[in-house]
């Protein structure tokens, strides 16, 4: 039988895995809407809770995007 502590740890681990995937996808310039759809998260929730990029990482993604345009 799984204890409550084990369930909480498991949920935290899954959250961290999702957070890592979303951050990596956004840093790889995957569109936010595509990332939100693939992870079954609304864009608002993604922006508020899952986008762990720093301001400099966001700036670098924008810079690389503009260089390709």
pLDDT 10s digits, 36-61: 999 999 999 999 998 889 999 999 99
5-46 per-position pLDDT tens digit: 676 677 788 888 889 999 999 999 999 999 999 999 999 999
Which pLDDT does position 37 carry in this prediction? 96
pLDDT of residue 35: 95
Mean pLDDT over each residue of the chain, to the nearest integer? 87
Query: DSSP letters of the chain?
Result: ---HHHHHHHHHHHHHHHHHHHHHHHHTT--HHHHHHHTT--HHHIIIII----HHHHHHHHHHHHHH-
Position of tokens 């995937």?
A: 21
Model pLDDT, residue 9:
72
């Amino acid at each position: 039988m799984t204890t409550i502590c084990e369930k909480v740890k498991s949920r935290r681990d899954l959250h961290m895995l999702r957070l890592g995937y979303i951050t990596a996808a956004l840093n790889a310039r995957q569109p936010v809407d595509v990332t939100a759809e693939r992870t079954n998260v609304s864009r608002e929730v993604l922006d508020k809770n899952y986008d762990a990029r720093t301001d400099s990482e966001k700036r670098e993604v924008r810079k690389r995007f503009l260089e390709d345009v």
